[in-house]
Structure 1
Amino acid sequence: MAASLKSSLNGLSGSSGETVAEGARRATGEAVSPEAARLDPEVVAIARRRKFSESEKRLLLAEAERCKQAGTLGAFLRREGIYSSMISTWRKKVGGADRAALAPKKRGPRPDGSARQIQELERANARLRHKLERAELIIDAQKKLCVALDLPTADDRSGDA
């Protein structure tokens, strides 16, 4: 057994006279040419995400709807290379788009975002003006009260300094 193990190891070490790149040997121990190692069909060069247009999605959905017999939908999905979750997601999106398309439209001009902002600013300006008028009335009342009670006012204090 040890002799057969050594002979198999010798066969793997490349003693056959030809130089073989490391990693270019098969599991059986036979050498593979560098071109064959490069053209391995199991290795995908660059995987790219598939993108479906709206028309392709609608065609695939229509074809999926026609698959009524047992097993035909699975065969269709395998043939097209898509998942059942993609079909269900597309159905939801198409249903939502159809509901949105059939929903009643609001009448009248579309609201302008800048006009709404201007209205909000004008309301805030009016509110602040009202608060200022109230504050001025309170200040005037305090001044009159100070004069009536012969208390020093802010004007008197600034004149003394």
Structure 2
Amino acid sequence: MVMPRIPNDETNSAAAGAAAEEGRRPTLVAAPAAASPELSDRPRRRNFGARYKLQILDEIDRAAGTPGAIGAILRREGIYSSSITEWRRLRAAGAFEGLSPVKRGPKPMAPNPLSAEHAQLKRDHKRLQQRLERAEAVIEIQKKVALLIGLPIEDDEKP
């Protein structure tokens, strides 16, 4: 099928001329008036609280006799029937806490019992290293003073 040709007006010809110079075809796309409030920047998983789940289960139990009522509730709330099945199973098991949302993602690492001792040993090592450096500096000064005075120096360091 051949599309009818749209006559060029002044705005289309200016865009076409600029695009032809760059070697591409002109594309005229209207900018969106405003972002849709229904669409978020990033998809998020919905979390349902225990109170909400129990409320929906009670509503579905009351509507069980009416044909099509359960489907209407599911469509209205945007819930799948598998979620209702899972919620019913948890409610029957008496796991009210199981109806509350579960935190997703990796579990935090348990603190290592040796990490506190390791940190203390590192602090002690640093403190002792500083004392050693000060003591070595004092000894070097004493050696220089002894050389100036003319006292004999015995070297305690043996390889």
Both proteins in one fold, TM over 0.5: no
> Which structure shows the higher helix fraction?
1
TM-score bin, normalised by smaller chain: 0.3 to 0.5
More relative contact order, 1 or 2 (CA 8 Å, 6+ apart): 2
- TM-score with structure 1 setting the length: 0.40
